[in-house]
Amino acid sequence: MKPDITVLCSLGRHPASDRPRAAVADARALAFALGVGGEVRAVHAGNPESPGLRDYLGQTAARRSLDALDVIEVPAGRDIRPALIEYLSQRSPDVILAGVRAEDGEGSGSLPYDLAAALGYAMVPTIDALSMPGAGRVELQQVLPRGRRRALDAGLPLLATIDAGSATRPVFAEARARRGQIRTITPSVLCPEIDPPEIRPARARPKRIAVARGGSAADRLRAASETQAGQGQLMIDPDAEDAARAIADYLRAEGLLRQR
């Protein structure tokens, strides 16, 4: 048996040209779905006129591609979750697939979890294999840190994110991208405005204190705890203010505390 799959597709930007394009993680999710087999549908919430959407129509995997891409028309700056929930609840796919997080915007990775909670779907992150041995059940392989894998058995319906590092890389065909159809859908639910995310310069990471390596554990502990001659100061029963001032001076000297 083959499950009915819907893939959530977002848009990213090319790192060199800044041109809108298919998000790499979602493109891998679509290639994964085409490889599993069964009926595959893809949906995007946003502007149906965006040129990057045809990148999904041109993708081929396992000698399959999309004939059409559903686009829910949602203006920029609006919450896409109500529109996606309405779309998915009306179609009730067996499996919903998505990338781990979006490339553009907040990229928090919370959308799949929000949709799974709203739809009542089971949620499994970072998978790289899926099969349906019988009705109502799927067998999954989940990607864990350090290259480990874990076999899982789950019931349907299911929402899963695809591990982009191990998923199939799609092949692009320009002719298929031009032939594919973009179907515009107008949602009947209200999509409220959302506050734009705050963007600020990244803060420098704290500087690690050097720790002596090699030797026995006792030698490393002694090197970390002892003060070399001519460095630092030894304070015996100091006042709280004097001790705090000495600690602050040391942290500033090591670059761990900003200068006044």
Burial, 31: exposed, middle or buried (Cβ in 10 Å; 0-12, 13-18, 19+)? buried
**Helix H segments across 121-190?**
174-179
Residue 182: pLDDT band (50, 70, 90) is very high
Prior bond to 15 cis, omega within 30? no
In angstroms, the CA 54 to CA 19 distance is: 13
In angstroms, the CA 192 to CA 190 distance is: 6
Burial, 151: exposed, middle or buried (Cβ in 10 Å; 0-12, 13-18, 19+)? exposed
Q: Among residues 244, 250, 251, 213, which one has the least CA distance to residue 231?
A: 250
Alpha carbon of 121 to those of 87, 95, 96: distances in Å? 15, 9, 9
- CA atoms within 13 A of residue 223's CA, in its CB half-sphere: 12
Q: What is the pLDDT of residue 142?
A: 94
Prior bond to 157 cis, omega within 30? yes
> Over 80: is that where the pLDDT of 105 sits?
no
- Mean of the pLDDT values across residues 154-180? 87
- Average pLDDT for the chain: 87
Reported as a single tens digit per residue, the pLDDT across 224-242 is: 555 555 556 778 888 889 8
Reported as a single tens digit per residue, the pLDDT across 117-147 is: 999 999 999 999 999 888 888 999 999 988 8
User: What size, in residues, is the chain?
Assistant: 260
Q: Output b/e per residue, 5-20; b: 16+ Cβ within 10 A.
A: bbbbbbbbeeeeeeeb
DSSP string for 153-216: EEESSEEEEE-TTTSPPPEE-HHHHHH-EEEEE--SS---B-PPPP--PPPPPPPPPP---SS-
Reported as a single tens digit per residue, the pLDDT across 10-43 is: 999 888 888 889 999 999 999 999 999 889 999 9
By three-state DSSP, how is residue 222 classified? helix
Reported as a single tens digit per residue, the pLDDT across 36-64 is: 988 999 999 999 999 899 999 999 888 88
Kindly compute the dihedral angle of the four CA atoms of residues 133, 138, 141, 143, in this order, to the nearest 10 degrees.
Answer: 170
Q: What is the largest CA-CA distance in the chain?
A: 81
